[in-house]
């Protein structure tokens, strides 16, 4: 199995790259999706959130009141740290289980771990990635996408972009870079070329 990290800032085009890699045959493990799964009804993490932040955050249908939780941790580093201490280990365990399942199904699988906050989290719970792919787009391009495609105000868009790691910090860990500033076709062509590189990685 080859374990590849895929990262990129908000509105960088990372989801487009991940979708193309899936079409080409990669196994995609989406960290954001795992983060939602670990707090589904009946999970230990959801129970811990209720115990820590208030049982009222678990709604009558058993789901998490995400907006309510957000209000209790937003702008409060200590509270956010408590939340992360619950969810991050759960995501890590689930990711390891998915990786193991992918390898069991196909020992030669190319597994892509789609993780937006790779730079921010890599020192805390690192995986043994053998290759890191960064999807890169200029700040103005990303702001424009957030305004045009997600309906954000320019102020909010710049705030979201500015709250993440810098492009330089992401590029510093890259083994390969997909430049998504151009057309969709240009981006996909780069992904297709990347796939050939990944398929040629030596067996571990």
Annotated binding site for ATP: 11-16
Helix boundaries (H) for the chain: 14-24, 31-37, 44-53, 66-73, 77-105, 118-121, 139-150, 154-162, 167-171, 184-199
- Residue 56: DSSP 8-state: G
* DSSP letter assigned to residue 64: B
Ranges of H-type helices in 54-153: 66-73, 77-105, 118-121, 139-150
Known binding residues are 11-16
Q: Whole-angstrom Cα distance, residue 165 to residue 113?
A: 18
Q: Structure tokens of 163?
A: 């709250």
Residue with tokens 């067996």: 203
CB distance 73 to 55 below 8 Å: no
Residue 24 tokens read as 């080409």
């Amino acid at each position: 199995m080859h374990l590849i990290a895929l990262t990129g800032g908000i509105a960088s085009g990372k989801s487009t790259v991940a979708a193309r890699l899936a079409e080409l045959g990669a196994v995609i493990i989406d960290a954001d999706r795992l983060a939602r799964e670990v707090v589904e009804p009946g999970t230990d993490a959801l129970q811990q959130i209720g115990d820590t932040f208030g049982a009222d955050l678990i709604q009558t249908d058993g789901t998490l009141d995400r907006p309510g939780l957000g209000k209790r941790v937003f702008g409060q580093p200590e509270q956010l740290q408590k939340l992360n201490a619950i969810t991050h280990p759960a995501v890590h365990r689930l990711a390891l289980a998915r990786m193991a399942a992918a390898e069991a199904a196909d020992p030669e699988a190319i597994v892509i771990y789609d993780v937006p906050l790779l730079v921010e989290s890599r020192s805390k719970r690192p995986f043994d990635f053998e290759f890191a792919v960064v999807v890169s787009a200029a700040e103005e391009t990303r702001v424009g996408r957030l305004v045009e495609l997600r309906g954000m105000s320019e102020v909010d868009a710049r705030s979201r972009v500015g709250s993440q790691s810098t492009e330089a910090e992401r590029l510093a860990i890259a083994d390969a870079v997909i430049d998504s500033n151009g057309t969709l076709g240009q981006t996909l062509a780069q992904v297709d070329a990347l796939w050939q590189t990944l398929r040629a990685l030596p067996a571990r």
